[in-house]
């Protein structure tokens, strides 16, 4: 059992590097994958299986690997990495997975002996009862044993996204991909070619199937082609990039490993997620070899034949000098040739085909080299301790035992139909290749070469010329000479019969998820005869490898069991991704500081300097409250701000409020339709609090409407509602009332807006704007005026959301910060304070003003809020009007807005609590408790010195003075409250209007 080096391989350098696997140091050559390096070091056991913890080795040489998954410690602990793909670099640290305490002595292997209880439907049958077990026992148990590797910790990805728009996308740079690409050299088409490997060439590098192309040997032809393609301005090639997703309208997702074979630089992006949109797609993604099920077909040492050959040519390592070859098709001739040319002789050649079906070339080679050959024979099984030691061949009734440590298996080739079916193309069963191949594409998808089911490479050029003729590219003429037979032949063989029956002996159909042929049989006998059900019940092909080497086998086995045609059984649905895609790549830069775009007002820098604590409102960063010193809590700050404002004056950065300019001949009619209020009699240069409903009569948004004239309005909206309100207005203008001549512009960003209010506000305003008359007569409540300010204009409106005397100032952001600072320098002597959104919410609750999204939740009408005065009843129509008289909306017992005051003034009314009739809840609730409503806002009022609440209570309008109870979080004892008028402060509006 020794690996040899193939010195003829040019793709591996002679530079030796070192890496660690499970704590031990090993060598590798630059260019090695983890798998090829381990094979070089004669390491065959690399992991433990998912369910039974059986010893597993390297089964393949690519993306299809079901066994050799490892954890890369030196790359932020990346788990479940395919050893057959991931390239080694100097200093790499790797561990095996799913074993304890060590890979060779794994305690979990006991599962293998207990395997009868882990049979098909194990999860569904075992974790059923008794009640309460799920939460306390089963779930924690499953969570502990689920998965293979351990997740990475504290890792901040710098993955980026790259979008492409292209004419032609070629997936796969193997022989057919390269020929196709050569047809596009220096044409008008923009071409993107994607290759999952770091090299171009496919079978030209992985095997010696191709002898010459137009007289050039394959490496010369490859060199010529690469040169040609790299010079072409219109062709871009991405290497180390795997296409994972084929979406509708020719949209693709592909993942590029930027540090393949290199140590990751944490300051750079290690992955690029390519998002590709193309006009035409050319799939050249080739084929994947499948295995054959036999007894212990999972032992370390079993490997797919073409993978064995790929290790020889692509990585320059012959994993074993004298393996046994087991095949049912003509392709293994290539492996024979490769081995013999290196002076290695297989221990035996086992072919399930009949003597007369086997190509004479193969028979000749076997004979000339004196290789023990068994035709019309099969492998019964293999045995050994954590590796193959003995292989049993069955020929007729005779069993032959052979000693060898490796077994190369070929069950035939499957076109790699995954992407084609993701694109919703239809497949067809082809008897000649005993596999599914693409039939009818659903999108503009072409398949070339072996993915199309054409394994006869000498005819490849004709196929490509024909299929690409519609693009009017030049005809190419390549004469491809092969080292193997020109015609592919295969005899169906999915499983072989076992003569030994024991718990240890298993014939696997899915290596990744430890599904056996026995499991399939059992599931079918239990009635799971539809393939989609069967898959889920047995977890067949549900591993991270998606059953790439085995799913067709399972369909075939199932079809035999059901006595149906395989095309009748069908396939399961192929869904993206083709291979695992890390969340870090999908998220790209949209994490941490870029998780959501942030909007900042022109005053933001001042807020930062003045210790604002921010709150997210939509995408806006708004000051929540300002800290006067480090130890001040939010409660203390809000209480201070609220008290100071009602005593002196406070100012809020309201720049985030949405503003919409509305203008046109029919602006008045439009506004009358959009809002509940009547605007016809409203005087120009006055403003009004207005409400916008949906057609269902429920409140959508509120705001202040300024009327400049019947043709010109400015509407303000809530901060987070601004885009919705503009879209709502545009929708009705465009779709329902195109006859109305009205135009809308969002002017949210064109003004910095300050809301100043409090008893000393008038004095401050006089000092800031000495030329403006702020007297109540000249500047009454709900009026606005424009003034010159430097080289711009400001608009000042008398309005308030706190219940105190207040003004809103609108100024160009150019002067926003300057004016804000000026107001503070003038306001200092009046104790002007900045306040945040939390204080705003508290003050408006004291005044009984509602907040959209807090008192309202999409089920509240203006009538429910006692805002009947806002409804223009005489208007013929407005959006939502008709719904207000629907029986459900006009019910008397709807939840209505009231105020709550605690009877015991030291009690706290919590937001979101229920209102009930019981003073105490039972310890165990057996019958539903009668629910009257909920607390929509709850604050401690520093101005009343007790807690207050706004609540939505059933039939609340008629319950003034009634006593109810409010629940308390985590307690059964409720607090008694009295239903009161929701306006706690200045109900006569004296402060507001004088």
Partner 1 sequence: MTEITSTSGVNITQKYYHQIIIRGNGLEKFNNIIEEKTSIKPPLKNLEIKYDSNYLFGKNSFDQWSLILITKKDHQQILNLVSSINTNENMLASDYSHGQAYFEIEGENKEIFLNKLTHFDLREEKFPKSTMAQTTIARIECSIYNLGNKFVITCNKSYEDYFQKRLKDTALLSNAS
Partner 2 sequence: MIIIKCPYCGERDQSEFSNGGEAHVVRPNNPESLSDKDWGEYVFFRNNPKGIFYERWVHSHGCKKWFNAVRNTSTDEILKIYKLKEKRPEITEFKNCLKSPSGEPKVGSGNFTVKK
Residues at the interface with partner 2 (CB under 8 A)? 247-249, 251, 277, 421, 424-429, 436, 439-440, 442, 530, 532, 567-568, 570-574, 695-696, 727, 730-731, 734-736, 738, 876-877, 881-883, 886-887
**Beta carbons of 56 and 68 less than 8 angstroms apart:** yes
- What character string, x for contact with partner 1 (CB under 8 A) and - otherwise, covers 796-815? ----------------xxx-
**Beta carbons of 830 and 783 less than 8 angstroms apart:** no
**Beta carbons of 807 and 756 less than 8 angstroms apart:** yes
**Beta carbons of 66 and 115 less than 8 angstroms apart:** no
Between strands 658-663 and 390-395, the pairing is: unpaired
How many CB atoms within 10 Å of residue 68?
25
Return the residues of window 445-504 that contact partner 1 according to CB under 8 A: none
Residue with tokens 């805002």: 867
Which of partner 2, partner 1, none does 971 bind, CB closer than 5 to 8 A by kind?
Answer: none
How buried is residue 47: exposed, middle or buried, by Cβ count under 10 Å (0-12/13-18/19+)?
buried
Give the integer Cα–Cα distance in Å for 227 and 229: 6
- What character string, x for contact with partner 1 (CB under 8 A) and - otherwise, covers 500-539? ----------------------------------------
Query: What is the side-by-side order of every strand in the sheet holding 302-304?
Result: 302-304, 407-410, 324-327, 348-351, 373-375
CA distances from 769 to 660, 781, 885 (A): 26, 18, 48
User: Which residue stretch of 33-41, 125-133, 736-744, 760-768 sits at the interface with partner 1 (rule: CB under 8 A)?
Assistant: 736-744
The least distance separating partner 1 from the CB of residue 598, rounded to whole angstroms, comes to: 5
The least distance separating partner 2 from the CB of residue 494, rounded to whole angstroms, comes to: 18
Q: Which of 601, 676, 901, 936 binds partner 1 (CB under 8 A)?
A: 601
**Beta carbons of 538 and 572 less than 8 angstroms apart:** no
Q: Which of 593, 630, 777, 888 binds partner 1 (CB under 8 A)?
A: 593
Which of partner 2, partner 1, none does 424 bind, CB closer than 5 to 8 A by kind?
Answer: partner 2
> DSSP state, 134?
I
The least distance separating partner 2 from the CB of residue 193, rounded to whole angstroms, comes to: 22
Give the integer Cα–Cα distance in Å for 454 and 736: 57
* 935-959: burial string, b at 16+ Cβ within 10 Å, e else: bbbbbbbbbeebbbbbbbbbebeeb
The least distance separating partner 1 from the CB of residue 585, rounded to whole angstroms, comes to: 13
How many CB atoms within 10 Å of residue 21?
22
Which of partner 1, partner 2, none does 521 bind, CB closer than 5 to 8 A by kind?
Answer: none
Q: Which of 741, 854, 883, 972 binds partner 1 (CB under 8 A)?
A: 741
**Beta carbons of 690 and 894 less than 8 angstroms apart:** no
Which of partner 1, partner 2, none does 129 bind, CB closer than 5 to 8 A by kind?
Answer: none
The least distance separating partner 1 from the CB of residue 29, rounded to whole angstroms, comes to: 24
Return the residues of window 672-711 that contact partner 1 according to CB under 8 A: 711
- Whichever of 706 and 744 has its CB closer to partner 2, that residue is 744
**263 near partner 1 (CB under 8 A):** no
CA distances from 950 to 377, 777, 934, 953 (A): 84, 34, 9, 10
Which of partner 1, partner 2, none does 712 bind, CB closer than 5 to 8 A by kind?
Answer: partner 1
**Beta carbons of 309 and 206 less than 8 angstroms apart:** yes
**739 near partner 1 (CB under 8 A):** no
Which of partner 2, partner 1, none does 553 bind, CB closer than 5 to 8 A by kind?
Answer: none
- Whichever of 224 and 666 has its CB closer to partner 1, that residue is 666
Return the residues of window 814-873 that contact partner 1 according to CB under 8 A: 814
**369 near partner 1 (CB under 8 A):** no
How buried is residue 258: exposed, middle or buried, by Cβ count under 10 Å (0-12/13-18/19+)?
middle
How buried is residue 910: exposed, middle or buried, by Cβ count under 10 Å (0-12/13-18/19+)?
middle
Q: Which of 109, 747, 768, 944 binds partner 1 (CB under 8 A)?
A: 747
Between strands 515-516 and 508-510, the pairing is: antiparallel
User: Which residue stretch of 388-396, 444-452, 557-565, 749-757 sits at the interface with partner 1 (rule: CB under 8 A)?
Assistant: 749-757
- Whichever of 188 and 886 has its CB closer to partner 2, that residue is 886
Residue with tokens 């099969």: 378
**573 near partner 1 (CB under 8 A):** no
Which of partner 1, partner 2, none does 738 bind, CB closer than 5 to 8 A by kind?
Answer: partner 2
Distance from the Cα of residue 531 to its chain's centroid:
27
DSSP 888-918: TTT-TTSEEEEEEEESSTT--PPTT-EEES-
Give the integer Cα–Cα distance in Å for 732 and 711: 18
* 463-502: burial string, b at 16+ Cβ within 10 Å, e else: bbbebbeebebeeeebebebbbbeebbbbebbbbebeeee
Q: What's the sign of the alpha-carbon dihedral 923, 927, 932, 936?
A: positive
Which of partner 2, partner 1, none does 618 bind, CB closer than 5 to 8 A by kind?
Answer: none
Return the residues of window 203-262 that contact partner 1 according to CB under 8 A: 238, 258
**Beta carbons of 50 and 98 less than 8 angstroms apart:** yes
Q: What's the sign of the alpha-carbon dihedral 215, 216, 218, 223?
A: negative
Q: Which of 310, 437, 599, 844 binds partner 1 (CB under 8 A)?
A: 599
Q: Give the tokens for residue 656.
A: 């985030």
**602 near partner 1 (CB under 8 A):** yes
The least distance separating partner 2 from the CB of residue 473, rounded to whole angstroms, comes to: 24
The least distance separating partner 2 from the CB of residue 545, rounded to whole angstroms, comes to: 19
The least distance separating partner 1 from the CB of residue 265, rounded to whole angstroms, comes to: 8
- Whichever of 698 and 704 has its CB closer to partner 2, that residue is 698
User: Which residue stretch of 326-334, 419-427, 662-670, 867-875 sits at the interface with partner 1 (rule: CB under 8 A)?
Assistant: 662-670
Per the document, the length of the chain is: 994
Q: Which of 579, 581, 726, 744 binds partner 1 (CB under 8 A)?
A: 744
Which of partner 1, partner 2, none does 598 bind, CB closer than 5 to 8 A by kind?
Answer: partner 1
Q: What's the sign of the alpha-carbon dihedral 684, 688, 694, 697?
A: negative
Which residues are CB-contacts of 344 (< 8 A; sequence separation ≥ 6)?
4, 318, 321, 322
Which residues are CB-contacts of 937 (< 8 A; sequence separation ≥ 6)?
841, 845, 851, 854, 855, 911, 949, 950
- Whichever of 211 and 877 has its CB closer to partner 2, that residue is 877
- Whichever of 730 and 920 has its CB closer to partner 2, that residue is 730
- Whichever of 709 and 989 has its CB closer to partner 1, that residue is 709
The least distance separating partner 1 from the CB of residue 174, rounded to whole angstroms, comes to: 22
The least distance separating partner 2 from the CB of residue 65, rounded to whole angstroms, comes to: 24
Q: Which of 389, 492, 749, 978 binds partner 1 (CB under 8 A)?
A: 749
- Whichever of 574 and 784 has its CB closer to partner 2, that residue is 574
Which of partner 2, partner 1, none does 750 bind, CB closer than 5 to 8 A by kind?
Answer: partner 1
Q: Which of 491, 643, 663, 724 binds partner 1 (CB under 8 A)?
A: 663
- Whichever of 486 and 746 has its CB closer to partner 2, that residue is 746
The least distance separating partner 2 from the CB of residue 236, rounded to whole angstroms, comes to: 21
* Count of alpha carbons within 13 angstroms of residue 528, beta-carbon side: 19
Which of partner 1, partner 2, none does 841 bind, CB closer than 5 to 8 A by kind?
Answer: none
Which residues contact partner 1 by CB under 8 A? 158, 160-165, 190, 238, 258, 268-269, 272, 275, 277, 589-590, 593-594, 597-602, 604, 620, 661, 663-665, 711-712, 741, 743-745, 747-751, 790-793, 812-814
């Amino acid at each position: 059992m020794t690996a040899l080096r193939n010195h003829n391989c040019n793709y591996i350098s002679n530079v030796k590097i070192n890496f660690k696997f499970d704590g031990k140091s090993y060598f590798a050559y630059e260019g090695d994958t983890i798998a090829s390096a381990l094979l070089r070091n004669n390491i065959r056991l690399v992991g433990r299986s998912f369910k039974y913890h059986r010893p597993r080795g390297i089964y393949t040489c690519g993306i299809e690997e079901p066994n050799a998954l490892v954890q890369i410690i030196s790359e932020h602990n990346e788990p479940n990495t395919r050893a057959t793909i991931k390239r080694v670099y100097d200093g790499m640290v790797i561990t095996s997975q799913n074993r304890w305490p060590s890979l060779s002595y794994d305690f979990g292997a006991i599962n293998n002996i207990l395997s009868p209880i882990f049979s098909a439907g194990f999860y569904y049958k075992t974790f059923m009862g008794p009640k309460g077990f799920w939460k306390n026992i089963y779930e924690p148990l499953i969570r502990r044993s689920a998965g293979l590797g351990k997740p990475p910790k504290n890792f901040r990805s710098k993955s980026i996204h790259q979008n492409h728009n292209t004419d032609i996308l070629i997936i796969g740079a193997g022989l057919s991909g390269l020929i196709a690409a050569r047809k596009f050299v220096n044409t008008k088409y923009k071409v993107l070619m994607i290759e999952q490997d770091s090299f171009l060439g496919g079978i030209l590098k992985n095997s010696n199937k191709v002898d010459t192309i137009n007289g050039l040997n394959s490496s010369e032809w490859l060199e010529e082609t690469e040169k040609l393609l790299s010079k072409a301005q219109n062709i871009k090639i991405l290497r180390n990039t795997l296409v994972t997703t084929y979406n509708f309208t020719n949209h693709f997702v592909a993942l590029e490993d930027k540090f393949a074979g290199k140590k990751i630089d944490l300051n750079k992006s290690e992955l690029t997620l390519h998002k590709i949109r193309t006009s035409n797609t050319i799939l050249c993604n080739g084929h994947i070899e499948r295995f054959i099920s036999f007894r212990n077909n999972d032992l370390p040492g079993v490997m797919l034949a073409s993978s064995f050959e790929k290790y020889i040519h692509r990585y320059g390592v012959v994993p074993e000098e004298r393996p046994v070859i087991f095949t049912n098709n003509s392709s293994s001739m290539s492996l024979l040739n490769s081995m013999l040319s290196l002076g290695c002789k297989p221990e035996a050649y086992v072919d399930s085909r009949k003597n007369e079906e086997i190509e004479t070339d193969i028979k000749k080679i076997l004979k000339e080299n004196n290789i023990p050959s068994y035709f019309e024979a099969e492998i019964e099984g293999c045995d050994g301790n954590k590796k193959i030691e003995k292989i049993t061949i069955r020929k007729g009734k005779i069993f032959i035992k052979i000693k060898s440590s490796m077994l190369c298996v070929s069950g035939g080739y499957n076109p790699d139909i995954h992407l084609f079916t993701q694109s919703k193309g239809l497949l067809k069963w082809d008897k000649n290749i005993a596999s599914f191949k693409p039939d009818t594409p659903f999108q503009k998808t072409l398949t070339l070469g072996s993915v199309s089911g054409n394994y006869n490479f000498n005819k490849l050029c004709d196929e490509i010329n024909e299929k690409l003729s519609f693009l009017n590219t030049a005809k190419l003429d390549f004469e491809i000479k092969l080292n193997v037979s020109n015609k592919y032949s295969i005899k169906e063989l999915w499983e072989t019969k076992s003569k030994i029956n024991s718990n240890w002996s298993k014939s696997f159909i899915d290596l990744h998820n430890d599904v056996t042929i026995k499991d399939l049989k059992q599931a079918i006998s239990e009635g799971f005869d539809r393939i989609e059900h069967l898959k889920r019940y047995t977890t067949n092909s549900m591993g991270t490898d998606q059953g790439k080497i085995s799913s067709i086998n399972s369909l075939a086995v199932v079809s035999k069991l059901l006595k149906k045609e395989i095309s009748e059984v069908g396939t399961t649905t192929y869904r993206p991704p083709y291979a695992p895609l890390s969340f870090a790549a999908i998220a790209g830069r949209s994490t941490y500081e870029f998780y959501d775009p942030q909007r900042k007002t022109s005053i933001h820098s001042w807020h930062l300097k003045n210790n604002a604590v921010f709150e997210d409102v939509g995408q806006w960063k708004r000051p929540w409250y300002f800290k006067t010193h480090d130890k001040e809590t939010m409660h203390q700050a809000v209480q201070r701000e609220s008290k100071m404002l009602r005593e002196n004056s406070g100012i809020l950065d309201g720049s985030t409020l949405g503003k919409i300019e509305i203008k046109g001949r029919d602006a008045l009619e439009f506004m009358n339709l959009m809002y509940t209020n009547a605007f016809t009699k409203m005087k120009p240069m006055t403003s009004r609090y207005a409400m916008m409903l949906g057609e269902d009569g429920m409140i959508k948004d509120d705001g202040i409407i300024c009327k400049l004239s019947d043709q010109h309005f400015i509407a303000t909206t809530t901060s987070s509602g601004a885009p919705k309100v503009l879209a709502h207005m545009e929708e009705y203008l465009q779709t329902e009332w195109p006859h109305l001549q009205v135009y809308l512009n969002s002017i949210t960003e064109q003004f910095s807006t300050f809301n100043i209010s409090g008893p000393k506000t008038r004095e401050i305003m006089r000092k800031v704007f000495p030329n403006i008359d702020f007297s109540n007569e000249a500047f009454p409540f709900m009026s606005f005026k424009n003034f010159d300010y430097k080289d711009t204009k400001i608009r000042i409106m008398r309005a308030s959301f706190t219940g105190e005397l207040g003004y809103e100032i609108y100024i160009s952001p150019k002067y926003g910060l300057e004016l804000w600072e000026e107001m503070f320098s003038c306001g200092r002597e009046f104790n002007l304070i900045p306040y945040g959104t939390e204080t705003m919410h508290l003050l408006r609750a004291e005044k009984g003003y509602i907040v959209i999204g807090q008192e309202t939740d999409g089920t509240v009408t203006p009538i429910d809020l006692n805002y009947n005065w806002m409804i223009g009843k005489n208007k013929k129509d407005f959006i939502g009007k008709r719904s207000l008289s629907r029986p459900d909306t006009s019910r008397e017992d709807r939840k209505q807005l009231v105020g709550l005051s605690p009877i015991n003034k030291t009690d706290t009314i919590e937001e979101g609590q229920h209102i009930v009739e019981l003073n105490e809840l039972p310890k165990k609730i057996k019958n539903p408790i009668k629910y009257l409503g909920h607390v929509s806002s709850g604050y401690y009022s520093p101005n009343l010195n007790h807690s207050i609440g706004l609540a939505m209570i059933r039939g609340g309008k008629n319950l003034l003075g009634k006593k109810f109870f409010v629940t308390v979080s985590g307690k059964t004892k409720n607090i008694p409250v009295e239903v009161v008028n929701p306006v706690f402060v200045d109900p006569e509006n004296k402060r507001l209007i004088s």
